[in-house]
Structures are given as structure tokens and as C-alpha cells.
Structure 1
Amino acid sequence: MVTVRWRQSVALTGTVVKYLAVAMLIPLFVALVYQEDVVVFLVSIAVTVAIGLVLEQFEDAGDLGAREALLFVSLSWFLVPLVGTLPYLFGSTGTIAHPVNATFESVSGFTTTGATVMGTISVEYHSHAIMIWRQLTQWLGGMGIIVLMVAIFPEVAVNGAQLIESEAPGPELQRLTPRIAETARLLWLFYLGFTVLYVLLLLALNQTHLAENMGVYNAVAHAFTTLPTGGFSPEADSIAAFSPAVQWVVIPFMLIAGTNFALFYYLLQREYGSFFQNREFQAYIGANVCLTLLLWVLLFLGSAPTLELGGVTQGALENSLRQAAFQIASLLNSTGYATSDFADWDNTSQVVLLFAMFIGGSAGSTGGGVKVVRWLVVFKSVRRQLFTTAHPNAVKPVRLGGFVIDEEVIKAIYGFTLLYLLLFGVATVLIALDAGRVGMELTTLEAVSASIATIGNIGPGFGQLGPFGSYLEFPWTSKLLMSFLMLIGRLEIIPVLVLFTGAFWRR
């Protein structure tokens, strides 16, 4: 017997879709300013509102239960990217006019992956309005569309904790205030505040002639894609198109984006110890610093060729440090920006970058990947297992930052990590087989990077999938598979896969 009250989940999904039309007013404004694609966004807004209103007719009495909340989150994350394809399809321009390509690009945007089917020519071919919509999808998906709904609408906030836990990255939700809606508002205010600060700093560089091509449009577009660790850029050359001064400014904001946003509440309360002594934050910064130093040495000694565009010059102290710091910060927390084509670097440097891709950002950040806190718990529990093997009668709990980690949480983390690695491996094989089916030349490293870059919401990979490449040449079946990987990676696998079990739908 089916006991999930799906109608209420569908109706609330309609509300989310309906208010997506409000976000489309921003690219509509840009379209009016540049006199480009005005009709495209007017029609997209009308269709979006209509779809939302139709779905709202399924409304049923009663609040969301735990399973209805899971269904609502998954339905929203599957439907919103589909609705997000409307401007691409109505625009009828470039590679993203194809339904599968439009779906891939929209899913990549909302999940803040940054993988693209736009080539260099395609990026420069689209209107300002289409491109700002592409950037905006990442900004909306960064902190989370459901978190935003909880912050705004009281009817959604009734079961807000369950909703946010299903959407937010990390093993558990960290409440900042007794009311979950206030926590959601604080998270979005921090997110918005850093976005505004970032825009102002970029514009300041422009005014001081340290970034001649960083005007208002570029500043807003890159703020929309840095804070959500998205990586979409309206420039075909990504951040390599800008001066070293801009690149140095981007690095700390990528690090901020990969930090648990709840920690900034402690700074606001002047509880500096709670911020700087947080074990996950220390490990996150430590991983960035160690991998940056390692890559810096490799680049300084000449492991990467000198490139015309933002390349690494052997023996250049500042250049090699900037390239190393930027790429580690970008790939460790899944932003995916680039200042040079690391697909041309040597194997040793690429292995360092591949290792960084598996780490991920912090829980409660906008970063993707497995997450630092999970690796910490895994390592500590493995160390505990080695100790108890030598001392069978010892009772040794796993602690993190002075707190004992519940055994059920440890089991859940092991389950997630195993499932993540299993799906990554299976997807790698399927992507490689599908490429061979259509005669596409794909190396093992490219297949591996395509899998981890999509399920980890990272974006660029290696070879033809490098930061200045694209996923355009993949067969449509692989693109749909990778779109699914991006979605389950963003929702951290379990909330999506549980919908495919019989136990979810039965009493």
C-alpha cells in the first residue's frame, strides 16, 4: 500500500517552479538593457509560471512528512533544471538549442558543476541575457533553492530541517538559531553578503586599472559563479582572461565558498575560537596549503609547459605560486575555474589535481565532492579500528573537535563514501563503453575525470574535457547519464536513490 502523500510534494514543487520565474526577471532586465532576447525571457517567464500553477493544483491538506520532504526535494531538483532549459531552447542559438545539450547545461548550472557543452565559439556567440541566466542558475543552486524557500515561505518551513538536510551538503545540518527558517535566512544573508563584497572588490580593481576588462557585467557574472563554486564564466578563457590581480582576488573567495557557512555566524558573534579551532576548517585549509605547496614546487621546476594563455613559466616564482594556489582552490572545492590549461600539464601535476578533486569542500559549504568532514571521520574510525585490533578490550569512541561521533553517523558516512566511490567507478566504465560505442576516442584518464567531475560537481576534467574544452562530443546517452550524476552528486546520492526503493513507497 502506497502511503506517501505525493500530491503535496508535487504542489510544493509547483510553487518552487512558479517562483523561478521571479529569478528570470534578472536576465530579462539584462535583455532590455542590451536589447537582446527580450521575447525569449518573456515567453520563458510565462511558461514557467504556467507550469508552476498547474502543479500547484495537486495541493493536498496536511504537512510534509519525512518521506514527502525527500520526494519534494528530489522532484524540485529534477524539475527546476528542466524548466531552466526554456531560455536555451527558445533562444534557438548555438549548441545549447538541442534539448539534450540544454538539459546538460541547465543541470550543470543548478548543481554548480560547471561542465559545459559550449565550445569557445559558442560562449562568445550567445547574448548577455542568456549568459547571465547561465551564471544565475549556479548562484541559485549554490546555497540551495530549497534553503531559499524555507527562508521565505512559512508553509515550507514547517518541516524545514528535513528539507535542508536533504538538500544541503554534508552529513548533518548545523542549526544557528532555534528556528530553522532563521537559520536558512542567515545562510542566505552570508551568501548574499559575500557575493556583494566580491562584486565591489572586482569593480574596485577595474577602477584602479588593475582589471581593464572587469566591468559591471563581468563582475556580477563571476560573483554569481564563484560563491556557489560553479565555475561558469561568460569568458571563453575563464579567469585566464583577466589580470593576475583578479586571479589573486578570486582565490580567497573560492576558499570562502568551500568553507562551512555556518562558521561565519561564529565570527559574527565574535566567537573566534569556534571558527579557527573547527577541525574540519583546519583540515580544509591544511589540505589547500599542502597541495598548493606541492604543486607550486612541481610547476616552479617546470613540470608544465609555457602556454600563451595564462601559462606557467618555469622558474617564475609568482606565476607558478598563483597557478598552483588557484587550481588547487578551484578543484578541491569543485569550483572549476582555470587560469591555464592544466590538461597540458604533465602527469604528476595532473595526479595532484585529480587527488584534490576527491577531497571536496566543507559540509555546509557550496562545494561539492565527498566533503572534508567525511574523510576526517573515515580516517579517525580507521585509526580506531587499528587500535582496537591491537587492544580488543579497549573502548575508544571516535572524536572530532572534542565531540564523540555517534556510531550511526559513522555508519552513514561509510555507506555514503562507499556508494560514492562505487557509482564513480561504474559511471567511469559506462562512459568509456558508451564512447567506444560511437567511435569516440576517450582515454582512461578522460573517462575517469568525466565521472568524478560530474558526480563531484567539479566541471572540467583532463584531455578534451580540460578547462577550455567541453563535453559536447559525448553521445547523448552519456550526457544524460552525466546529468543524472550531477543531480545525485548535488543531493548527495541517498535522497535520490531512496526514491527507487520499494520501502520508500510502502508503509
Structure 2
Amino acid sequence: MRVDWRTSVAVTGTVVKYTAVAMAIPLVVALVYGEDLLVFGASIFCVLGAGILLERADPDPDLGPREALLLVALAWLSVGVVGTIPYLLAGYGTASTLAHPVNAFFESMSGFTTTGATVMGEISTDQHSHALLLWRQLTQWLGGMGIIVLMVAILPELAVNGADLIQAEAPGPQLQKLTPHIQETARVLWKVYFAFTLLLAIVLYSLHLVGVAPKMDLFNAIAHAFSTMPTGGFSTKADSIAAFSAAVQWAIIPFMVVAGVNFALFWHVLAGDTRDLFDDTELRTYAGAVAAFVALVFGLLYAGVAPPLEIGGTTEGTAEPALRHAAFQIGSLLNSTGFATSDFAQWGTYGQLTLLFAMFVGGSAGSTGGGIKVVRWLIVCKALHRELFRTAHPDAVQPIRLAGTVVDENAIRGVVVFTLLYLGLFGAGVLVIALDAARIGLELTALEAIGASLAAIGNIGPAFGRLGPFGSYLDLPATSKLVMVLLMWFGRLEILPVLVVFTGSFWRR
């Protein structure tokens, strides 16, 4: 049968409708601070109306496998679109950069896809309301574990096709079913995610109460918990986490690293089965990569080869700030969080190249981290090793194993295809961004263009140079911003669920 697009549109309307429910949180903040109350009241009305209107496309939707793929692609694009409404209304009649529709769409999609790239000229409660800044943080938290996963968890009608929906949205090459019912699995993942978010907010606010983090009040504690666990990277401060004390920076590091771990492993630990945690090959590789990159960057910073300029001096010859900056930036960029404690855009060549390589790694499958993912790199490396072995021993049969389990050949082929598509889209993005900048006379270095494309498709956020952690993407032409939005969309849904919608075979019988 042909794809029943009306079914996908109708369920997309349900997702949009519940996005309006999420806007009630910044509406409460608007009431507390007396700021932008009309903005969020009107936004809820508009988004709720749009969702109800889309639901009318099919009164009795019945999702099949292809309708599920179309739904995931449409839902993520739709929430990115309706998420622009608060930005547009707040910026209407002002000089705010978010008053421009392309800028508002960029900021919204960057939030929901947990990219963390921004076009905001000024980021502070002096320039924007507390409610708008919290909405910006909340979009990342909603997108971190997955909007569709949340919908499967709370809507029984989606549980029938829940496995297809979550598989299309979840990061990584496979879905790990934790309970007999997929709806309960979705709830488990969100419970673990919520628990870590709540714990981080408590830790950050506790630092404020004991006097070692004067700027980390309750609002900032909640806001940064909302953007840490989804590996998002948005901050309420223009200087990101550099605006806060060293105690805050140390407190956030372990949570960023944890956010790059498969959340299913934590459920096994809570269930009393700790063997999965220690036997997991991907986790061991991820931890080893973090440790190796931290050691390398620490050496560069301590030796003064790539000194970050921080308030009070440099890291050369000083162990604590060198280790703190190294651990923070690797914990942030390797799994695509995008926070910063230092303007690494000003680091030396060796430091920036090390961070660039770290950005290609990504988090674990089943985490909120972006990028290619550690398990895919493991499979690619094992596949390369097998091909070398077969070249020397053509008659040998050598299956690829992970943690003692044979990896299906279809899964290997899928990993190779994804990796090639990822690198191909990344390269195309570099070329388009560089040429588009040259078209308007904007001088971008090769590293800046490479960083911008990788930051978008890897959902990382900051790049290098003027596009670095203390800069923004505001100066890029509108066409480049839209290309980056497309890359964010592709990257968050891991390319294939979106790309397949644009093929003729998807729509044919």
C-alpha cells in the first residue's frame, strides 16, 4: 500500500499539541517574574490550535512502519517550527536578533535537536526574559531523551508501533528493550533521565547555598540541568559555564560524561545487575576515549602549547586549571554537549585539532550524546580489521563480535552506510557554508567552516574562531543557517529516517 501521510500528519498534530502543554512551564516562570506573560499565553494558544488542526487530518490514525518513519521526520521538523513562536513574539517590534524568522527557526531547531548553536547576540536576563531563556533550555531537555519516546511513554495509542517509532528516533544502531512492553521501556528511560536531571539541579543549587557558587541560583541550577543531561549546551550566560565558579565546572563534568553513556545500563544497575555495566564493550571504549583525550589536552595545556586564556591567567604550569579545562572540554565536546569553560577558539593549533578529533567520536548508543557514536566506530574498526585478515586468508570465516555476541551482517552494513552518509553530508555542509560565506564577503577560515558543519550534523554547537563557544552564528547568511538547520535535523535523527522520506521508493507501493 502507499504511505498514508494523513495518519502521520494527524499524529504529528498530537505531538505539536503536547508541545503547547510543555510551554506551561515557562508560562509559570513568566508569572513569577512578571515577564513575557502574553508571549507564552499567545504561544500556547497558537501551538495548541495548530496541533488540533493537524489532528483532523485523520480522526482514526493507524501507523504502519513507513508511516512511523514519516511521523518521526515530520514531528521533529514541526516542533522546530512551532518552537519559533515564543522567540518571534518576544522579539516583535524590538531589535532582538530572534525577531527574524530564520534566526528564530535556527535557535528553535538548535534547541530541540540539542545542538546548542546560537544566533543570539546577547544572552542574559538583562536582554531576554527568564521565561524565554527557560523555554530555550527546556527545548533541549525535551529533545534530549526524545520527543517521540516521551509520546510513546504517555500515549497508549502510540505504544502499538512504539518500537518502530523509538528505533527511528533513538540514537544508535539498535534499540534495547528493557521491559516486556515498549511503553514501559520508554517510561523507564525517561525516569532515569529525569532522575539525573533532578540530581544535577540539586547539586548545583547546593553549591550556591554553601557559598561556593554565588551565581548559580535556583533559576540557573534548573536551567543548566535542563541543558546538561540532554548534552545540549545552551546556557543563560554569554560566557557559558566560564561565567560560574570552578566548583560548578567540576560538578558538571561527571554529569556530562554520564549523559554520553547508554541510559539502559543505569536501569540494569538499579535493577541489581551490575555485570552489564562492567562487561559493556562500548562503555569501556567510551571511558577509555574520554581518559585518553583528557590526558592529551591536559598535557598540552600544562605545557603551555595550547594555553586557554582564563580570568586570572593561563594554565601553563598549573595542574588544577589545566586538568579542569581539559576534563570539561573533552567531557563537553566528545559527546556533543557544547558547554565551555574557556574560549577554546583561541587555543593553539594542536589544542584545536585535538578537540576537532574528539568531536568526531560522539557518545554511546542509547545516550543523549550526538555524533557518530562509539559503537559504530568499534564496528567500523572491526570490519576493517576483518577485511585485512580476509585479504591474507581468503577462505577464513571471521564474524564480528561485540562483548562476545556476533554482530548481524545487516547491522554492519547499516553502520557502514550511516558512517559514509554522515561524512558525506558533513563534507557537503563544509563546502556550502564556505561558499555561501564567500558569496556575501564573509571571511571564514577552513577550520571555521569545518567546525560549523560538524557542529550542526553532530549536534555539538560551538565551532571555532568567530563561531566558537563565546561567539555565535549570527553573521552567517540566512542560507547557511538553513543548511545548518537541515544538518541538525538529519543529525538528531541519524540521517536515514529523514533521508528515506526523500526517496521515491518510500512513497511507491
Relative to the length of structure 1, the TM-score reads 0.98
Aligned to 2:493: 491
Counterpart for residue 89 of structure 2: 90
- Give the stretch that moved more between structures: 293-302 or 111-120: 111-120
1:378 and 1:46, CA in 2 relative to 1: closer, same or farther beyond 3 A? same
Q: Is the 8 A contact 1:368 1:456 kept in 2?
A: yes
Q: By how many angstroms is 1:208 displaced? A: 1.1
Which deviations, in whole Å up to 9, do the C-alpha atoms of 1:244-283 show, x marking residues without a partner? 1111110000011111001111101121111121000001
In the alignment, which residue of structure 2 is the partner of 1:196? 198
SS of match in other structure, 1:72: helix
Partner residue in 1 for 2:264: 262
Residue aligning to 1:342 = 344
Kept in 2: contact 1:124–1:236 (CA 8 A) = no
Distance 2:117 2:308 in 1: 25
Residue type matched to 1:34 in 2?
Answer: Y
Q: Secondary structure at the residue paired with 2:366? A: coil
Where do residues 45-444 of structure 1 align in structure 2 (5 Å cutoff)?
45-61=44-60, 63-92=62-91, 93=94, 94-120=96-122, 124-305=126-307, 307-309=309-311, 312-444=314-446
- Whether contact under 8 Å (1:13, 1:76) holds in the other structure is yes
Unaligned runs of at least 5 residues, structure 2:
none
Question: How far is the alpha carbon of 1:61 from its aligned partner?
Answer: 3.7
Distance 1:500 1:272 in 2: 43
**Residues 147-183 of structure 1, C-alpha deviation per residue, up to 9 Å, x if partnerless?**
0000000111110000001001000101001100000
Distance 1:162 1:312 in 2: 50
Give the 3-state SS of the residue equivalent to 1:365 in structure 2. Answer: coil
Question: Within 2, Cα distance between the matches of 1:318 and 1:201?
Answer: 21
Q: Which residue number corresponds to residue 24 of structure 1?
A: 23
Cα distance change on mapping 1:481 and 1:140 into 2, 3 Å: same
CA contact (8 A) 1:424 1:452 kept: yes
Q: Determine the structure 2 residue equivalent to 1:15.
A: 14
Residue 62 of structure 1 deviates from its aligned partner by 5.2
- In 1, Cα distance between the equivalents of 2:314 and 2:375? 33
Q: Partners of 1:481 and 1:284 in 2: how far apart?
A: 30
SS, match of residue 384 in structure 2: helix
Contact kept, 8 Å, 1:24 with 1:45, in 2: the verdict is yes
Counterpart Cα distance in 2 of 1:350 and 1:262: 33
Q: Is the 8 A contact 2:204 2:221 kept in 1?
A: yes
Q: For the structure 1 residues 318 and 120, does the alpha-carbon distance in structure 2 shift closer, same or farther, using more than 3 Å as the test?
A: same
Report if the CA contact (8 A) 2:27-2:37 is conserved.
yes
- Counting matched residue pairs gives 506
For 1:389 and 1:157, the matched residues in 2 are separated by 47
Deviation at residue 187 of structure 1 after TM alignment: 0.1
Distance apart, 1:60 and its partner CA: 4.8
Give CA deviations for 1:325-366 in whole Å, capped at 9, x if unaligned.
000010000000000000000000101000000000000000
One-letter amino acid matched to 2:49: A
> Contact between 2:344 and 2:468, CA under 8 Å: does it hold in 1?
yes
Shift of residue 424 of structure 1?
0.5
Residue 334 of structure 2 aligns with an amino acid whose one-letter code is L
Quote the Cα distance in structure 1 between the aligned partners of 2:30 and 2:199.
25
Measure, in 1, the Cα distance between the counterparts of 2:281 and 2:43: 45
Give the match's secondary structure for 1:313.
coil
Equivalent AA in structure 1 for residue 164 of structure 2: Q
State the partner residue of 1:43: 42
Answer yes or no: is the 8 Å Cα contact 2:241–2:339 preserved in 1.
yes
Secondary structure at the counterpart of residue 472 of structure 2: coil
- Decide whether the 8 Å contact of 2:459 with 2:488 is kept in 1: yes
RMSD: 1.1
For residues 414 and 294 of structure 2, what CA distance do their matches in structure 1 show? 31
CA distance in 2, matches of 1:206, 1:95: 32
Identity %: 63
Measured in 1, the distance between the counterparts of 2:132 and 2:50 equals 21
Q: Is the 8 A contact 2:2 2:508 kept in 1?
A: yes
- Give 1:97 shift: 1.3
Q: What amino acid is the match of 2:386?
A: R
The 3-state SS of whatever aligns with 2:138 is helix
Asked if the contact 2:437–2:477 (Cα under 8 Å) also holds between the matched residues in 1, the reply is yes
Give every structure 1 segment of 4 or more consecutive aligned residues whose post-TM-superposition deviation is greater than 3 Å: 120-124, 308-312
Deviation at 1:297, TM superposition (A): 0.3
Q: Is the 8 A contact 1:124 1:234 kept in 2?
A: no
Residue-by-residue CA offset, 1:398-452 (whole Å, 9 max, x unaligned): 0001000000100000000001001101110111000000000100000000000
User: 1:124 Cα deviation (Å)?
Assistant: 4.5
Name the SS for the 2:360 alignment partner.
helix
| In structure 2, distance between residues paired with 1:310 and 1:240 | 12
Alpha-carbon deviation of 1:203?
1.1
Rounded to whole Å, the distance in 1 between the matches of 2:177 and 2:117 is 32
Contact persistence 1:301–1:315 (CA under 8 A): yes
SS of match in other structure, 1:492 = coil
